[in-house]
Structure 1
Amino acid sequence: MRRTQIYLDERQTQELDERASTRGATRSELIREAVDSYLGVNEDELARVARFHEAVKATAGVAPYLRAGDEYVEESRAAGGRKLTRLEQRAG
């Protein structure tokens, strides 16, 4: 990490300090997040996706009476195809 100095006006400084206090973060952390957001790097989104994947791993298999997701999707697609065929036969 490299140290960088910037000039902020009073309003920016005050708002950053208020938000930092609310989140329990530092002014520097908020500025780094803002720069990442501007550059297209969203650590919050990456962290959210990582938490989602961890939750999926943690809950996999807790309801053994339910079909696996891929099986459910394939069965739904097959059922949809059969329904479409019936509708075409009626129309045709």
Structure 2
Amino acid sequence: MQRTNLYLDERQTTALDQLARAEGVSRAEVVRRLIDRSLATEPSELDTDLAAIESSFGALVDAPTVRRGPDRRAAHLDSIRRR
């Protein structure tokens, strides 16, 4: 390992210390984990989820729509909206 100095503002230091305490590790370990996560070449779960959402956008544009007539649920929702 190589030693590296970082200058952090008070907000960053506080957040880093809180995260370190919550994970039961040192401040340096949290920094190393965050750097590893940001440099990872594999997409994160969030990236994968966002890609799936993006690729599905507009998938149902040609799907037939379901028309609902007045029913008890619609009447209930209308009564709530009018309050």
Q: TM-score, normalised by structure 2?
A: 0.47
Which has more helix, going by share of residues? 1
